[in-house]
Structure 1
């Protein structure tokens, strides 16, 4: 689940919600709600979390996309992140957001 993966990845990196908020520019209160599953996360924030948490967006949303753990482990490259941002609207249309 996305909420669990954000929380787990943050803890693996040894950073607090407050530190994640400072690094990402996302409010700590929002991070708390995302980690408990109380709020939906936009694609832009998923991409931001992936960048800051040093993982791929596919890892974060692998369960939602039906990917297995091996398919989702690959870290995202800066080139891939740029492409994802460029094509965010098309991706949203495909996943139905």
Structure 2
């Protein structure tokens, strides 16, 4: 069974890769490995060495600490979560990540108007 830390780090690799719009193949090329290894890292099936994590962080343009953010909260998730319309692992949802990436690709003045529209629509629902 995969260790909680390996699974968390793998999820964070996948989230960041999706956010920057990079494929597993491209990330693998950047760090000098095969894409199948990236798949194993992202699922937590294989543990990422410190030097490899450093290379991945460099390729994804984040600090190594990024991959450990939220780990303490995730480790303490034994209690049932309150019901909410927001998924517990929103950043693990590919559709949500695509939406965030698309949102930030919109010019800032239009982005503000889109944000206000979304607020109004969510209040109506």
Query: Which has the higher Rg, Structure 1 or Structure 2?
Result: 2
Does residue 42 of structure 2 align to residue 35 of structure 1?
A: yes
Query: 1:2 aligned to 6, 9, 13, which one?
Result: 9
Does residue 22 of structure 2 align to residue 15 of structure 1?
A: yes
CA RMSD of superposed structures (Å) = 1.6
SS in 2 for 1:41: coil
Residues 29-80 of structure 1 show CA distances to partners (whole Å, capped at 9, x for unaligned) of 110000011011100011011100010101112345x49xxxxxxxxxxxxx
Aligned pairs, how many? 66
Shift of 1:22: 1.2
Residue 67 (structure 2) aligns with: 60
Runs of 4+ in 1 over 4 A off after TM superposition: none
Unaligned 5+ runs, structure 2? 1-7, 74-125
Q: Which has the bigger relative contact order, CA under 8 A and spacing at least 6?
A: 2
Unaligned 5+ runs, structure 1? 68-97
Q: Within 1, Cα distance between the matches of 2:39 and 2:63? A: 21
Normalised to the residue count of structure 1, the TM-score between the two structures is 0.62
Shift of 1:27: 1.7
